[in-house]
Chains A and B, each alone.
Chain A
Amino acid sequence: MQLSFTAEEEAFRSEVAAWLEEQLSGPFAHIRYIDSHLEKFEERRRWEQALGAARWSCIGWPSQYGGRDATLAQQVIFAEEYTRLGAPGRIGHNGIELFGPTLIHFGNEEQKQRFLPDIANGKTLWAQGYSEPNAGSDLSNVRTKARLEQGPNGPEWVIEGQKIWTSFGQFCEWGFVVCRTEEGSRGPAGLSYLMVPMKQPGVVARPITTMTNEETFCEVFFDGARTPANNVVGEVGGGWKVAMGTLSFERGASSLAQQMGFRRELAALVNAARANGLDRDSHIRQRVAEAYAGLRIMRYNALRMLSNAQHGRLSPEAYTYKIFWASWHRKLGELAMDILGAEGELSDAEGYEFKGLKKTFLHSRADTIYAGTNQIQRNIIAERALGLPREPRGQ
């Protein structure tokens, strides 16, 4: 067990920081420290392409697919420097962190060569097609169907159904979509993991306005959408295993980048408390110190989880990672509003727009819902990690 980085790793940190600083004080200065998820979307697409051109986009991937074969320590360093220097949130997140690793693990060689380089160089954005109006926490209750038909260029999947909560669905070129491909099947059986072009007549992505008054996700309608028969990851009917694999990649080194964002929020909160004199209030001091401790612990939760995964060790902390950070972040938003007081209610623009800690307060309500609600996380921990009896299922 060792906290410190080697001299080579520190040299790598300097190299990363130098490149980021050059870009973010030069051609991409206008998107540095950008707060919104949607603002300047096309400029951010060009940023993804600049990362890709310099091979900084997916450094943990094998080099033949556009990565750098980076070590875990290098990935941690990159993630932390990326956020520390104010680089914008990755609009390519779903492709880079979820779909790419899934394809590397479950895809065939032809698929990897075809799709991965375009993700790494920022050409294609990917949408996640999992949740449906009736498949939220009960994720395997998928009703979107796909059937094989003969098309003009060979057999094709024809897709009918609806997905929801699809992040940036309105901007994505491709989707990884879990569909029911065996007629009459139920639950996890009979599902397939399809790669579907999103820009086609049979696909309509309609943005949903969130409680932050932003359009960060969509409902997506599939009405006779088509994709070639070989665009299936893993086996036909074996999509559930692949979909679950994707969820396990959600806990990659990029979570360290997220934590650097949390650091910035906590610093802003400390400054806000000082600005309005609450830094002398013992109750606030205790709560802020508790938040600080939680943030510290989160980093070592992540490093433990990532280090253990790299050594192929079973790691109980992996089960607890998401609920810990999500609950922490939501509580931070509440603490921030307690510190800001009534002024925290006032919009930051002419219209209805909230920034900084106010936005954290609103946005963090989603953290304990998406990617498995806290309640589902507790069920999973209780059943899989602690071996308690499974939930009874209805008919």
Chain B
Amino acid sequence: MNFTFTEEQLLLQESARQFFAQHSPSAAVRAAMNSANGYDESVWSRLVNDMGWTGIATPEAYGGLGLGQIEMAIVQQEMGRTLFASPFLASIGLAIPALLAAATAPQRERWLPALAAGQRIAALACTGARGRPGAAGVEAVLSAGPDNRYTLNGKAGFVVFGHVADLLIVAARAPGSSGEQGISLIALPRDTAGMKIEKVVAMDLTRPYARIEFDGVEVGADAILGAPEQAGAALARTLALGNIALAAEQVGAAEQCLAFTVEYTKQRVQFGRAIGSFQAVKHKLADMMVRIEAAKSAVYYAACAADEDPALLPEAAAVAKSFCSDIFNLCAGDAIQLHGGIGFTWEHDAHLYFKRARASANLLGDTIHQREQIAQQLFDGDQPLLRQLGGL
């Protein structure tokens, strides 16, 4: 048991912090959010070629760095700090874990090396047009036909960076199935016939979504990752890892909200004093820090659990995502409040964080959903979490 970063992890944190400070300042984030693609391809290629982080948690056998979820969380946290706009979460945080969890060896060999090397970008389409959380949110329908041919129909929404993806990993369910039953994960190149992809305008401009319509898309058996209708557990693992990555990003972003608000309250003078000298202000900032430090513990614990003990993963991811969503919403909201009028302007960055907070909380299952996952394990069935508390 040792709950500190290794020297290598500290170095990674430092170089990530420097990289995003240099390449993702406010002006760059704003340029990206006003661009058609939603990200800066030249910075992306630096990240790919100079840093190699697109392969961070992909096994070396597929050309990755073979590192773990702690390292993934470290990089995500630093990306969150500057609201770095990129398809990193979509491709590295979601699509690669889905392939690793569900795909056969030949499928992995086919798709992973190009994604890990950053030559291709993938996105995960795992929820319907309404963005409902978890397995219940999978609404696209995959119908089996004769000769191992399948047909995909329906819609997907909230597909992060889906409009630039070369490859879509699509979750779909068998007709009439529900919950985790009957779910398949399908790998479809973006030019697949019958698939219409369009970028939508959403509140958070730093991480665009696409909506996708599947209209009689013909799916070959080799496009289905692993066995058909058996990917429920793989999707759950993918969502759990994605939620940990999101939670890490939320912590970094919340830290930045605290940092720029502390700086402002030291400078801003009212009633002849820096407003940061008033307890009403100090205590709000202190509360932000208390929650941020706790959120870091939640993220690092969840990342450790993901690497060391798959049995702990669902609970640890739900703990991290629910807590970090709440604290980021709170920190971004208080950042606006403590800046006063200037915090409500388009010019100030506070609203970018505030909107990312809301969007990232909803993405892959909101706090109500995460807490209900925990509640089920405490109260229902054989109550595994109550057993763990020593209450059974």
Contact = CB atoms under 8 A, between A and B. Distances in A.
B345 to A, nearest CB: 24
Contact of A296 (B298, B300, B386): B298
Interface string B350-392: 0000000000000000001011111100110001011001111
A313 to B, nearest CB: 7
B285 A388 contact: yes
Contacts of B390: 84, 263-264, 267
11 contacts: A1-B300, A3-B304, A73-B2, A267-B386, A267-B389, A267-B391, A289-B370, A299-B301, A307-B1, A320-B290, A378-B282
B50 interface: no
A279 B293 contact: no
B379 A307 contact: no
A28 interface: no
B5 A317 contact: no
Contacts of B305: 3
B277 to A, nearest CB: 4
B191 interface: no
Interface string B293-321: 11111101101110011000001101100
B289 interface: yes
B148 interface: no
Can you list the 10 inter-chain pairs with the closest CB atoms, starting with the nearest?
Answer: A267-B391, A382-B282, A389-B277, A289-B371, A300-B297, A378-B286, A285-B375, A289-B374, A381-B286, A303-B3
A194 interface: no
Given A73-B2, A388-B262, 15 more contacts: A1-B2, A3-B305, A264-B390, A267-B389, A274-B379, A279-B379, A297-B297, A304-B297, A307-B2, A313-B4, A317-B297, A323-B290, A386-B289, A387-B266, A388-B276
Contact of A1 (B4, B318, B385): B4
Contact of B298 (A270, A293, A320): A293
B290 A381 contact: yes
Interface string A268-282: 101101100001001
Contact of B319 (A286, A297, A317): A297
B297 A301 contact: yes
Given A286-B372, A317-B296, A388-B277, A4 B309 contact: yes
Nearest to B297: A300
A128 B382 CA distance: 46
Contacts of B301: 3, 296-297, 299-300
A92 B266 CA distance: 44
Which of A293, A323, A386: most chain B CB closer than 10 A? A293
A377 interface: yes
A383 B286 CA distance: 9
A307 B371 contact: no
A308 B70 CA distance: 17
A148 interface: no
Contacts of B308: 2-4
Interface in B1-18: 1-6, 9
Given A378-B282, A381-B290, A5 B300 contact: no
A270 B372 contact: no
Given A273-B379, A382-B285, A290 B322 contact: yes
Contacts of B265: 388
Contacts of B262: 386-388
B263 to A, nearest CB: 10
Contacts of A299: 301
Contacts of A316: 289, 293
A316 to B, nearest CB: 6
Given A76-B1, A381-B289, A293 B323 contact: yes
Nearest to B323: A293
Contacts of B70: 1
A288 interface: yes
Nearest to B388: A263
> What range describes how many residues of A lie at the interface?
35 or more
A301 B293 contact: yes
A303 B385 CA distance: 20
Interface of A: 1-5, 9, 72-73, 76, 84, 263-264, 266-268, 270-271, 273-274, 279, 282, 285-286, 288-290, 292-294, 296-301, 303-304, 306-308, 311, 313, 316-317, 319-320, 323-324, 375, 377-379, 381-383, 385-392
A320 B292 CA distance: 9
Nearest to A328: B294
A297 B5 contact: no
B11 to A, nearest CB: 14
A246 to B, nearest CB: 23
Contacts of A294: 294, 323
A9 B258 CA distance: 39
A84 B262 CA distance: 42
A289 B286 contact: no
Contacts of B315: 296
Contacts of A274: 379
B2 A2 contact: yes
Contacts of B296: 304, 317
A385 B372 contact: no
Contacts of B266: 387-389
A122 B62 CA distance: 60
Contacts of B300: 1, 300, 304
A271 B285 CA distance: 37
A268 B389 CA distance: 10
